[in-house]
Structure 1
């Protein structure tokens, strides 16, 4: 049976040592670690290395290299450097850069940086990124053209993106060092009303649904048609107080319903 790894996203509030201990306690075969290049220190590396040695768990991956138009490449190199010191087999990457050529160039640079360790640079696609589906991901990896490039597939993103099993069957197995399984509801999200899921290390996220024409009661008491949309704000209570989040959401609603106030 293939080994099963404990992903760092299961316990985003945990530090590296606690994540490793949780993986051991859960009986997992491997573990993944979240590496924030702005907060990770030599002490984190030392403690994580000791915990990995004590538990005997291999490090499947480090994450996340989040490619953006203004990304600082040295931050991403640091994630790979940490993974190299800890023996990570892969580094997980996603891209919010609409320029796919720039994403490919960024990945190619990271592949070259990972050559000393042989770490695979795995691109994950999904509708929450600018690499929406398998076709887009493969086109980018073709541009990367480096033996360390890799593809990370998650069934939930396969389903949400409209990618088919037949398409996956045609992918070169050499591009697939591992897979990810993210749990989610079976029903696909309604574009008019969906959950705001925080992606660490962000402290909050606002999900805005599509505008839908619906019958409503107007201010004069009559029934008419208006454009209605839903908004959901999720906040990390460790960073933002819920009351402050509610005030922010209220201010957004008031400005949208009375746009003239935004000109003041």
Structure 2
């Protein structure tokens, strides 16, 4: 990839997790984003659970903000494929996402049985297809889908056209994946790219790994991850979902200010990446 087409940007939920879903939409609009990512189901038991699955007041308020601002929903979170997962239990979440206009569903692989996980991913895809949704598997080094190569193997085994992979730079780097591996994968596997940065030194323990990923990432271009290499290994028109949780920065800067600066920093990385070729 030698050049980038104009990019669309999405504000990931984890970047501004202190906000409610309608506030996330407003923040995305005020800070110049085309899309927003919404966490309809919490990723951990410690997170606030918003009543946004089904025809709830919060769902209606979110839909109204989307309509009024023109911001679109890129992805909804989070589906976890575990040993005991009943895929049909996610249908209300998928239906709500479809009603909000989402395109992708973020999926985490938490099943040590890879064949069963691929089967469940296929079931999820079949459930999501009539709703216009594409479940996308995100490799994370502490899950059972640890890297991009394993993720691609699961996606291939699922055998569905409406699935693929989500690359998150911090997870990609911490798993020691290579841009050569990434560039060799089918282009149709990728619908969007998460974007962030982190220190070059990889954590030596799980607690630090999780803390950096969930609480203290870095602004794109200020860390040591090979963002340019990741960008060049992927199609140049993928929307960028800016996912940069920053606990310390959030104590001193409002969500809109952080979102604007993160978008500006991402634009700078894009310009430098493609100008160098």
Give yes or no for TM over 0.5.
yes
Q: CA RMSD in A?
A: 2.2
Secondary structure at 1:189's aligned position in 2?
coil
1:189-219 per-position Cα deviation (integer Å, ceiling 9, x unaligned): 023872653999xxxxxxxxxxxxxxxxxxx
Partner residue of 2:223? Answer: none
Partner residue of 1:40? Answer: 52
How many residues end up aligned between the 2 structures?
201
More strand per residue? 1
Structure 1 Cα separation of the partners of residues 125 and 212 of structure 2: 28
More helix per residue? 2
Matched, 1:22 2:22: no
Segment drifting more, 51-60 vs 32-41: 32-41
Tell me: higher relative CO, structure 1 or 2? Use CA pairs within 8 A at least 6 residues apart. Answer: 2
Pair 1:34–1:199, CA change in 2 (3 A): farther
Partner residue of 1:184? Answer: 198
Q: Give unmatched runs, 5+ long, in structure 2.
A: 1-5, 43-48, 215-277
1:45, 1:85 within 8 Å by CA — same for their partners in 2? no
**Selected match of 1:67 from 81, 99, 107:** 81
Partner residue of 1:252? Answer: none
Matched, 1:163 2:168: no
How many angstroms does 1:110 deviate by? 1.1
Partner residue of 2:8? Answer: 3
Matched, 1:107 2:121: yes
Partner residue of 1:92? Answer: 106
2:169, 2:197 within 8 Å by CA — same for their partners in 1? no
Partner residue of 1:12? Answer: 17
1:201-243 per-position Cα deviation (integer Å, ceiling 9, x unaligned): xxxxxxxxxxxxxxxxxxxxxxxxxxxxxxxxxxxxxxxxxxx
Pair 1:131–1:196, CA change in 2 (3 A): closer
Show the 5 A alignment for 1:1-264.
Answer: 1-36=6-41, 39-41=51-53, 42=55, 43-191=57-205, 194=208, 196-197=210-211
TM-score by length of 1: 0.70
Q: Give unmatched runs, 5+ long, in structure 1.
A: 201-264
Structure 2 Cα separation of the partners of residues 196 and 157 of structure 1: 10
Structure 1 Cα separation of the partners of residues 33 and 101 of structure 2: 17
How many angstroms does 1:20 deviate by? 0.6
Secondary structure at 1:125's aligned position in 2?
coil
Structure 2 Cα separation of the partners of residues 196 and 176 of structure 1: 25
Pair 1:100–1:54, CA change in 2 (3 A): same
Larger radius of gyration: 1
1:122, 1:149 within 8 Å by CA — same for their partners in 2? yes
Structure 1 Cα separation of the partners of residues 64 and 157 of structure 2: 38
TM-score by length of 2: 0.67
Pair 1:75–1:137, CA change in 2 (3 A): same
